[in-house]
Every structure is written in C-alpha cells, then in structure tokens.
A and B are shown apart, each in its own frame.
Chain A
Amino acid sequence: MPEFNNFNCAKTIDCKQGAVRAVRYNVDGTYCMSCGSDKKVKLWNPATGLLLKTYGGHADEVTDVAGSCESSHIVSSSLDKSIIYWDVSTGTPVRRLRCHAGGVRCVCFNEDSSIAISGGRDNAVMCWDIRTRRLDPVQVMKDARDCITTVLTNEHNIYAASLDGCVRHYDIRAGELTCDKIGEPITYLAQTRDEQCLVAGCQDSVVRLLDCETGGLLSEYKAHQGQDYHIECGILASDAHIVSGSSDGHAYIWDLLEGKVLQCLRISDNGGVVHSLATHPKRQELLFARRRDMYVFSADLQIEELQL
C-alpha cells in the first residue's frame, strides 16, 4: 500500500477556449489535451503550461478526446455528431466520421489504436476502424436506453456506461454482452490499472467501485456533490486512491479500500464545477477542469523539485 502524499497545485492554465469540457492525458502522460466549448482541442505540455497545438475543425463543442498509443493521432468527439481523427503534428483532421444520430459524448482508442470507440447521445456505441478509410462504423451497439456517457476498452472488453444506470461489458472474446444495472445514472466510468474493477461516478453523488468479474458492488465513496452535473471520477496510477470532482469547486480523493476521504482539494473557493479530471497514467498527478481553466495537481516530489 503506497502512502498517500498530499496533492498540491502545480500549475493553473487558462485554456482560453471557452469552458473546458474535458481534460485528458496522452498515453504516457507527457502531454495533455483539453476540449473547449469553442469547438477546439488544445494540446498542452502540462508541466510548463505551454500550448503546443490547437486542433480546430469541429462544428460544435468538443466533448471528449483521446490520444493514440503512439501519440501520433488524436481522436475527438463533438456535439456536432461527428468524431475527428487528427494528425497530431500537422494539426489537420485526417478523417471525420459521422454516423451518430446525436451528439457524441465520449471516445476512446483501443490498445493499438486501430479502433476508436465512441458513444453518444443517440444511445449508441460505435466502433470505428480508423486505420482504413472506411467511413461507417465497424460495429454499432444500440443496447443502451439512454445517453452513453463513457466508453472504455481493454484487451478484449468494451465498457459502456450509460445514463440508464447500466454498465455494459461487451466481451469480444466470449461474444457476450453483460449488463450491470446499478440503477443510478452513471456519469463517468474509469478502469483500474489491473482491469479488475470499474469506478463509476453516479448521478446520486456516489462513486461506486464495481467488480468486473462478478458485477458486485465493492465499495461506495461519498463526500462530493454531483447532482445535475456530469462529474467525472478517476483512479490514481497506484490503484489505491479514487478521485472525483465536485460541483462545489473541490475535488475529493478517497482511499480505495477504506473509502474515507484522504484529501479535499480546494481547487477554488468561489464555486465552479470541477467536472472533468484526468489521472496521470504513471505518476501521482492529476488534471482538473473547472470553468475555463485547467489545473495540474501533483504529489510527486520530482515535479516539485523541478519546479524549485
């Protein structure tokens, strides 16, 4: 059990792209991306706060973004019902994929970034083969009864969380769809590094830890306020701490096992929903999005030293 170091704000970046809808790390955490309500995606260096590139081409607010495994491409989803596959270095859209009947809420890559998976307000999860020029999805899963809020994938599973209160596991290997009904609308879903558990942020201000294998509810984490907001949650790289945003401008970190609040990050005292966050894939580092700003929080000593 790694000991918990308190997180401190390492950087505050004004993204200058309207409200920040989501913040994400790239695959190794060296860069981060922010999605703005001004229809643009921005690529940052979180350590220095340097804006590296702006990707413009969406016709509506960008809702989610994901970087490919070799960091050469980005895929972003937008409320304009399309997802765009970007070339990182040139900043040009390589492919624009339209098939969703509603705004696209979330997007992710599979492990080798050959498939992009998107979920949207049209209750559909779509898998896109982005290596080829095929413009229609490889597969469409329309099992959900409400908006898809998050899609995740690992080696052989696709997880889709929906506002209908269900987490659906599409097991490609077994050809089986497992639907875990929690009953509360799920606003966000994160996966532990060992792929054993899922962390589901629910609408009733509870973050729940689910067992992938049995579908059992392992633990509940309460402290934050999440009513009416699409609050994201996450699990830190050590798989020992759970973090969630809150609508009161704070963020909370829980101990995974005991379920008690370890730290309440006071990101701002004058309100503003901390709705999006991203956990660094290796280090003890966190990204938060609140209003127009992106916050980098860090507990790693290395970073602190660097800054000193």
Chain B
Amino acid sequence: MDDEEYLHRFGTPLDPIQKDEVPAKKPLAIEDQIVKDENGKRRFHGAFTGGFSAGFWNTVGSLEGWTPQNFKSSRAEKASKVQQRPEDFMDNEDLGEFGIAPQGIRTRDEFAKDSEQEQRTGQRKRKLMQPQADGPIPGVPVLEQLLRPVRDKVAVRILKSMGWKHGQGVGPRQTRKEKKQASARNKREQYLREHYGAEELPGRSDGATDDDEYDAAEDEEDEDITFAPDDYEPIFYTPKHNRFGMSYSGLSRAPVLSKSSAVATPMQHINLFGELEKSAKQPKLSIRGQAFGVGAFEEEDEDIYARDDMTRYDFSLADKQPMAKKVAHVQQRHVIDGFSEDKASSTLAAPFAIDLPRDYVPRNWLQRRSRFAPMDAKRQQQLAAATEHKRAGLGRHDLNPEQRAQLLDEKHFKTADVQSKKNPFKSASSASTQTKTKSLLELINAAGDNFTKGGIITTTGEEQPAAVELSADLKQTNLELLAKAAAMTKDLPVNTAGAGFKPFLGNDAKQQRYEKFLAAKLKDDEEITLFLAVLQPVTLSLWDREMEKKEFIQAAKIYRPLAGLMQDRFVSEATVHAQQVEQQVQPKQRDKIVVERSKSMWKPSALLCKRYNIAEPFGGALPDAEKELKKAKPKMSIFEYLESSVNSKTDFQTPSIIPKHMEPKPKPSATATAQPEIAAPAPPVEIEKPVVAATPAKPAFVPKTPLEQAVDAARDKPISEKVDLFKSIFDDTDEEEEPEPQLDTKLSDMQAALGLPSSNLANAAAANVLRNTSPPRGIFAALFKPTDEPVAPAPAKFTPIEGNKLKITYKSREERLKNDKELELAQVPTAELYGPKMPDKLQTEPASTSAAAQAEASIDAKLQQLWEKHAPAKRKHEEWVERVLSSEDSEDDSTDSSCSEHKKVKTSKCKRSHKKSKKSKSKKDKKKSKKSDKSKHKSKKKKSKH
C-alpha cells in the first residue's frame, strides 16, 4: 500500500467506507485542514497560521463594532463606578476548560484522584509536604486541622500497614510496667515543656491517665501481654546558638504576608503580573499562568525569563551517579525495614557557654511559683540573713542617746540627766534636751490657766505650788509618746528647706544653686532663667546654663521632697499615735456617742451640678481646692520620668534621702507664748552641727546675697513695687558681679582644702556628672566634629564665654547687656580673672623644663608663642589650660606610663569633642594639685573620702 505511506492520520479513524457508497469528496489536504473552535471560528491564523486567536474575529472590536463605553452622569443620577474585571478582557475560550481562567467547578489537583490528575496534566505531579510553619503564628495552623487531606501522608500509610492505629504511640509494644514508666517520663517531660518551652502542647491524648487506674489490681499478672505505647509529643531539643533568652526567636525580616518562596530560589520565575497585582488597588485582579505565545495544545516553553545560575551547570566530567554501594541490610531495632539510622550525629561541637554573674543563684521555679506564695522556712531565714544589713540600716539607730553622747564625748548631757532626775517627768526628759523642751511645753499647755495665775515653772520643768490638774495617766501616755517620737527622730538633722534630696552632690556649687533654686520655688520659665542667670558663674556657657536649668527643673520634679508628692497619702506616725491616744482616752470619758458635726466648704464640680440638675452654688465662684492641688502636683506618670532622658538615670548620684523631722504638732495656741522660753535652754542644732560639718556632702548653709534677699522680699509684692528688685537685677552690673566671685573663691578655697576638684577649673559642663559624654552620633556627629586643627589650643579668645557664639539667635535686651558684660570681662587682666588658677609653683616651671620635654610640646609651644606675639600686652601672663597640660606632661615625662597617657590624651583630643579633652585635663590638674598639697591636707582628704 504505497498510498498509505503518504497518508497522514490524525484523529480516530472513521468507519471504513462501504463498497457501494461513493466517496463524496476528496479528503482534505493538510493545508486546508483548519482547526476551529466550538463556534466555528478559526482558531489559528496569521503568521504561518500559528498566531493566536483573540477577540472578536481577531479584532479588538465586537459585533457592534468598536463602540466606546458611554458615560453619563447627572446631578440626579450619578454615574456608578465601572468595575472592570479581568474577564472583560478575556476571550470566551479563556474561560473554558483549558483556558487561563476556567470557570467550571472541579476538584483541585491536590484532592483529585491520581488518575484524574494525570489525565488532566499529562504528567505526574509530585506533591511536596508543606514545610513547618515558620510564620509569625506559632503552632499547627488552624486550617490544617480543619481541612484534612484526602489521603494520609506516606509515613502514616507506612505506619498503618505496620499495624499502627490512630491514637496510639509509635514504637515497640510495651508491657504494663514499661508503659507506666514511659507515661511517667512523658509527664515529666511535658511539665518541663510547659514551664520552659515556648509553645504549648497541642492537647495531649488523655488515654494515658485512664490506663493508670485499673492497673493497680492486676499488677504483675501478665508480663506477656503487651500494649501499644502512649502517644506523646516528643521534645526536640534544638541546640542554642545565641545568647537570647530561652525559646526566643527574633522577628523574621521578611514581611509577614510575603510568601516564603519569594526569597527562596534563584531559579525563580519573574512574575510579570506580580507588579500588576501590587499596583492595582483591587485585590481581585490577579492573572496567573502563561497566557501568551503558547497554544492550548502545545507544550509549555522553557521559562525564558528565568535567571540563570551557575549552580545549574555541571562542572565535573566524572560520572554523576556514584557507584551504588551494596549496603548490607542489618535490621536494627526500632528501625523499620528498609530504613537505616542516621549516622551523621548532629551534636554541637562545643556547648555554648554563658558567663554567669558571680553572684548568680539559679532559681528553682518549682519551689516558688509566685512571689506571693509563701516561702519555706529555711529559705526565708536565709533571705532574712542576707538582707539583714538592709533592714538594720547603717546602725545609726542602734545607739541610744547616752551611748552617742559617750562617743561624742559630750559632758553636758550628764547634767541634763541629773536635772531630769529631779524632774517628775523622767521618761521624757532623759531622752534628750529636745524632748525636754517638748515636755516643758506640754506642761505649760496642760497648766495653761495655772500659768496665768502665777504658778512657777522653772526651766527644768519643776512646778512649785500650782498643781497640774491633768489626769496622771493621760500625762504619762502623752509624755511617753513624745519621748518615743523624739527618740525615733532625734538622729535626723533638723529639717531645712529642700534638704531632702541632693542630686548634684558631685558638684557643690551646683548643688547649692539647686538648693537656692528649690528654695525660690519659681514656676515661670523665664523667672527661672533670670534667677539662675544670677546664680550661675559667668564661665558657664549659654548652653550649659540651659542644660542646668533643665536639669534643675527635672530634678525638682523627680526628687521632690516627700512633702510635695505624697503628703496627702501619708500621715506621720506621730500624728497617728496621737490620734490613737486621743481615741483611747475619749471613749472612757463618754459612754454615749455624741455625733459631732463639722461643716466646711466643698465645691462640687460644674458637671456634677449639671448632672444633678442643680445650679452651681454661689454661681461656681467657690474656690476649688482640688484644682489648685492638681495644678501643684501633676499626675504621676511614667512618661514624666522618661522626659528626663537628657540625663540618663544611672548618671544621677544616689540622693541621700533625709526624712523630715517628725514630731506631733504642739497645740498651736501654746506655741506663741512658749517660744521665747524654749529658745534659751535647747540648742539641738548646735549639738548636731559637728556631725553635719564633718560630712562634705552637705554644704553648709550659704547666706543669702543681698539680691536674693531682695528677691525674697519682693516675691509677694505687686509688680509695681518690684522696681527695686528689677533694678538690682538688670541695671546695676557691678553689684551683680561682686557676690559671684566671692562665692566662687570661697567655694574653691573650701574645695581645695578638701582636696576636691575645683569646680572652677573646668567649666561647669566639664565637671557635670550628668552630661552625656559619649561621642556625638547621627546628625550631631557632623555638628560636633572636631575641626581639622586638633592641636590648636590656646588662642581661643573667648574660651570662658564660649556660649556667646550661640547667642546670635537670642536678642533680648538683658542678654545683649550680659553679652557686653562678658566681653568686657574677657579683656580684664588675668589677675582679676577667676577661673582655673594654677598653683604658683607651676607657673614658673615651664621655663625650667627639660629640652626633650619641650620638643614634645613643641607644637603647643610654638602656637603659644605665635599667639603671644600677636596678643595684646595685657594678656601676656595668662595661663591657659592647654599650656598647663604641656608643662605637666613634660614634667611627668620621666615615667613611661605618663608618656603613653599623654599620647592617649592627644589621640582622644582628635577624636572626641573639645569638651571631653578638657575634662581629662582637668582631671590631671586635680591629680597634680593633690600631689602638691598632699602633705598639707592629708587628713582632710581622708575626710572627704568618707
């Protein structure tokens, strides 16, 4: 059959033609055979008939032609927004079974039967197991639990074929005893997991507990009956590689909703429609799959947009398939036939070691779950012993007055004692003179009417003819109470204004300023600036002043004495005692309860009145105590404390909290009359003074300057009367300057005596403990970058008034005045300048330094000389800080360590801000001054250390 060779066959063969039938037509030639779709349209056309068929007869038109969509919108009838869907742009065939957006409902591949799937795709698809969810939601995905796969996983199928049933555990069958042990172990593990593990177990099967009940009776009966093991979630321990807390896993950097595959493989198809998806607002619009260029009956092209990767190439010439080794199959226990144990052990090479703090005590969480749970006795004892010193304090309260007097070598106490022997009120007056006066006061109170009649009360409290008519026990209780209160509070220093907290202990001058600031109780911001401007030394730059102001305000806010913040919440113990005593006494006096009525003003809030439908009393003109209170004390908020971030909290020196001197208030009527008499016999302040003076932390009371006095005096006056004060502040420049240097010199003298760093040496900013000294970062790095000449030292003309540069922006009159003043000051001869004053010895030394040392400091010296040439004659003798540094270095040069130190200083000078280097210098100065004055002030230095 030669014809047959040339016959192309496709499709199913037709029935063979009957003999008697005449073939109607010739068979169609290949070129005439046209593929048509169900509508009879030609499917392929154009470019060698391989083109794509689209649209309406391969046009963009429609049966009606290309008619634009009409848009009509009127006031009455707003045009509705036209929603375009992808389907609008699709052909009918796209929506068909083989199109890109099939419309019919059919089972998905995952759920389709094998045969169905193969039929559909023509190839076997391999279903990969879903990777364990690494997403932000821990645990087994809910959907996975809801939607069960049609078929079991392979592993499950294998297990089932081996006789495993759902709900059982995996493993060899166990006897009862073994099972018991296993369940105990599981429980333990679960406990551990619950308490330490991050994720909860997804509901353990409860079958285990059921078994335990009936096995007690037939315990050892049948060893050969075996049971399937319990199902339990095994714990997979993952080795720890980091120092984060247990079970911590950081946030993944990938956005939460991105598909995990988005970053995964390099061989990833670049999804052209991906961008389309993103840019389009409508989430519905999503077209997937290949649409163009591939016909329905053609196989897919290779992915031409894929990025190539070298890993896909095979570089080796060797045979790819390794020689299949014949592995001797040794059936191992617990290993299913056909599987083998993993040989590669995944143990961590070196366990991760953590350096524990030295005093770290591991805690057993089993012992005490909550801090409110009771502790066991032993541990409590231990804790109590450990914190003993905390409760005991510094032991100051352990001594009684006699002992303390002995320690202090005080004699006059004895006499007081002797006197008190005669006193009928022994218990009170033996405590201290202070309480003695109190008792006296009490006496006077008690015998108030007698007093006027002429009863004689001596200073010792003896009363001659007129008898006290107080009931004896009342007196006794009163006195005891007083004595107790006095004993409790007598060690405390006498209360002074703002003596409670000392946040700026490091800097005495500053602390004093702070105290003055506190005492002034200024509210207005401008007032504060003015007030501080008077107090602050001129050397302080404007920025420092601003900083100090902020610090003060903040500190005042934070370290407000107890009186401010919590006064309304606490009552002193003494008053409580007094009340109790009163209450104890009163019921005895009266059997019947008499209701005491007292009335006071109370302002209901406007809203309350409104809600009660009542007009506000007095038209709302009542003074509102609450509001004023509120103004005075802002709400306690955590954020307020956060505001203090200017000074990190660690930098604050722990303030010494000095509680107020507590005493029950004496009755107000008596105080006025008794006052002059008390003043004479009792000088409690004087007794305590030596103690106070010994501690350098508490600055002595600084007498007020005339200006301050003026301020104090004028505070309550109307503005019109304050002219004097303003004059003294703004106009008179001479007066303002005078007190400052005095104060400063006095201070520096004191500090020198104590071996402390003089606050004048560096400016206040350098000595400021609270200043953030870390190098500037971010945009500030550029601002505070050291300039190119790091060595350029002295010739800063206005070093003491650096702040002036910043002053350009501020142009208020006072400041301009001040500025001028400071400029004047800068030209004052050195003798009148205050500031870093060097020891006399040093000033002469530079001349006598060795040549080598001079070479060391040559740059500095040259610059110095250069400047001195051009400098005005007035300034010739000025000793600037830089110079001192060089001289000191040259002096110390003989030792190796100092040399390296010097270098360090130099490098640091380059790197760090100007201020920092200054600070280090000032430190050195301090060292030096110490050295020179060592012999003189040894004893004092010791004191300062305390």
Contacts and interface: CB of A to CB of B under 8 A. Distances in A.
B593 interface: yes
Interface in A146-200: 155-156, 170-184
A140 B626 contact: yes
Contacts of B622: 175
A52 interface: no
Nearest to B599: A178
Interface in B548-568: 568
B612 A172 contact: yes
Interface string A119-147: 00000000101010000001111100000
A138 B607 contact: yes
Nearest to A136: B635
Interface stretch (A26-34, A67-75, A209-217): A209-217
Interface in B590-623: 593-605, 607-609, 611-618, 622
B611 A176 contact: no
Contacts of A171: 602
A12 interface: no
A65 to B, nearest CB: 21
A256 interface: no
A99 to B, nearest CB: 11
A156 B571 CA distance: 32
Given A115-B608, A139-B605, A172 B614 contact: yes
B626 A183 contact: no
Contacts of A175: 601-604, 616-618, 622
Contacts of B599: 176-179
A8 interface: no
Contacts of A179: 597-600
Given A177-B600, A181-B595, A138 B608 contact: yes
A114 interface: yes
B595 A182 contact: yes
Contacts of A178: 597-599
B624 to A, nearest CB: 10
A217 B587 CA distance: 17
A110 interface: yes
Contacts of B596: 180-181
A178 B617 CA distance: 15
Interface residues of A, number: 35
A170 B614 contact: no
Nearest to B594: A217
Interface residues of B: mostly helix, strand, loop or mixed? mixed
A138 B605 CA distance: 7
Contacts of A214: 597
A217 B593 contact: yes
Contacts of A208: 593
Contacts of B618: 175
Contacts of A184: 593
A162 to B, nearest CB: 14
Contacts of B587: 183
Contacts of A215: 595, 597
B617 A174 contact: yes
Nearest to A184: B593
A176 B602 contact: yes
A172 B595 contact: no
Nearest to B602: A177
Contacts of B608: 115, 127, 138-139, 172
B594 A173 contact: no
A216 B595 contact: yes
A141 B622 CA distance: 16
Contacts of B609: 172
Contacts of A181: 595-598
A172 B604 contact: yes
A62 to B, nearest CB: 22
Interface in A103-125: 110, 112, 114-115
Q: Which of B597, B612, B616 has most A Cβ within 10 Å?
A: B612
Contacts of A173: 614-615, 617
A110 B612 contact: yes
A132 to B, nearest CB: 9
Contacts of A140: 626
Nearest to B621: A175
A171 to B, nearest CB: 8
A98 to B, nearest CB: 14
Contacts of A129: 607, 611
Contact of B614 (A127, A156, A180): A156
Contacts of A141: 602
Contacts of A142: 568
A217 B601 contact: no
Contacts of A210: 595
A208 B594 CA distance: 11
A226 B602 CA distance: 33
Nearest to B607: A138
Q: Which of B597, B599, B611 has most A Cβ within 10 Å?
A: B611
Contact of B611 (A138, A182, A217): A138
A217 B617 contact: no
Contacts of A177: 599-602
A214 B597 CA distance: 8
Nearest to A101: B569
A112 B617 CA distance: 20
Contacts of B617: 172-176
A163 to B, nearest CB: 13
B793 to A, nearest CB: 60
Query: Which 9 A-B pairs give the minimum distances between C-beta atoms?
Result: A175-B617, A177-B602, A215-B597, A181-B596, A139-B605, A172-B604, A114-B611, A138-B607, A115-B611
Interface of A: 110, 112, 114-115, 127, 129, 131, 138-142, 155-156, 170-184, 208, 210, 214-217
Given A114-B611, A140-B626, A208-B593, 20 more contacts: A112-B611, A115-B612, A127-B605, A131-B611, A138-B607, A139-B605, A139-B607, A170-B604, A172-B608, A173-B617, A175-B601, A175-B617, A175-B622, A179-B598, A179-B600, A181-B596, A181-B598, A182-B595, A183-B583, A217-B595
24 contacts: A110-B612, A112-B611, A112-B613, A115-B608, A138-B608, A140-B626, A142-B568, A155-B612, A171-B602, A173-B615, A174-B617, A175-B604, A175-B616, A176-B600, A176-B617, A178-B598, A180-B596, A180-B597, A181-B595, A182-B593, A183-B583, A184-B593, A208-B593, A210-B595
